[in-house]
Amino acid sequence: MTDDNPALPPVDGSGVVGGIHPTDPWPMALRRLSLVVTQPTTAFRGLGNDRTSWLLPALLVSLLAAVSPILMSTLHVEKQMAAVEQMVDRGIITEEMAAEIQQKTAERASNRALGPTLFQVLLGVLSHLAFRYLLPAALLLAGVRFVMEGRATFPAVLSVVAFSSVPAGIRELVRTPLQLAEGTLEIQFSPALLAGGSQNLGAYALNLLDFFDIWILALLILGLAAVGPISRGRAAGLVLPLWLIYSLAKIGLKASPFGAAL
């Protein structure tokens, strides 16, 4: 099997990368965390022997994803209220049902306390770990091993998924302050900026071309090629169709009567 990856920095038989031994997992994780932005090909080297450092990026990104909606809770409540009104306009629910939903939403927002907030963060982190990392890693592992005939292991693919998600954490760090400053959730890093907001179906589709999501796809391709080991072309042949199916499903859901909730 051929691999069209360029030459990588040498790694000795012990798996040492950048002078840090893999038996010292957290320094290795921090090293990879910086390299994934500056030298992604190097960052994915030796992941087959690195079974724990995936936790660092996964937990950091999951925490940011869980905390951001809480910081933006007022704007999220406003969006939920508007979505309920749109569902009334489309005849999905009655005005009485809408009033009840809006009342309960307002009550939950006003009764937010430290305990429930911490529980919400914990629940968000756990769900993020399950659906953003474990499930995609299982799907990609099946693709690499049974479709692309690679020899990757689950820990290696999970690490690729985790370190490839770093741009999602960077996006939260950039977007949340902008949302707070502008007083809107409609902060985009995609061609949707030219189409009048994500509530329009065309703009929603364009928003799937988010700069950070494209960055994540590129990292996934590099990472899977490294741990496969398979060529980058074959890795792209696995990652891009899965992303296309996911994107089309989201567009279809947005076009459905329940699309106002997205």
d(CA 85, CA 30): 46
pLDDT reported for residue 5: 42
The answer to the question of residue 24 being in a domain is no
Is a pLDDT exceeding 50 seen at residue 1? Answer: no
d(CA 162, CA 60): 10
Of the listed ranges 105-109, 136-140, 154-158, 176-180, the least confidently predicted one is 105-109
Comparing 260 with 14, the larger pLDDT belongs to 260
pLDDT reported for residue 113: 52
Q: How confident is the model at residue 208 (pLDDT cuts 50, 70, 90)?
A: confident
Structural domain range at position 71? 56-261
Total domains in the fold of the chain:
1
pLDDT reported for residue 166: 95
Average pLDDT across the chain, whole number: 79
d(CA 108, CA 102): 10
The answer to the question of residue 8 being in a domain is no
Q: How confident is the model at residue 198 (pLDDT cuts 50, 70, 90)?
A: low
pLDDT digits (tens, 9 = 90+) for 94-146: 777 767 776 776 666 665 655 567 888 888 899 989 999 999 999 999 998 88
Q: How confident is the model at residue 255 (pLDDT cuts 50, 70, 90)?
A: confident
Q: What percent of the chain lies above the pLDDT cut of 70? A: 74
d(CA 182, CA 186): 9
The answer to the question of residue 51 being in a domain is no
- Contact predicate 242/143, CB 8 Å: yes
The answer to the question of residue 12 being in a domain is no
The answer to the question of residue 173 being in a domain is yes
Is a pLDDT exceeding 60 seen at residue 13? Answer: no
d(CA 43, CA 32): 5
DSSP-derived 3-state class of residue 110: helix
pLDDT digits (tens, 9 = 90+) for 240-249: 999 999 999 8
Comparing 11 with 103, the larger pLDDT belongs to 103
Q: How confident is the model at residue 11 (pLDDT cuts 50, 70, 90)?
A: very low
The answer to the question of residue 36 being in a domain is no
Comparing 50 with 187, the larger pLDDT belongs to 187
The answer to the question of residue 30 being in a domain is no
The answer to the question of residue 42 being in a domain is no
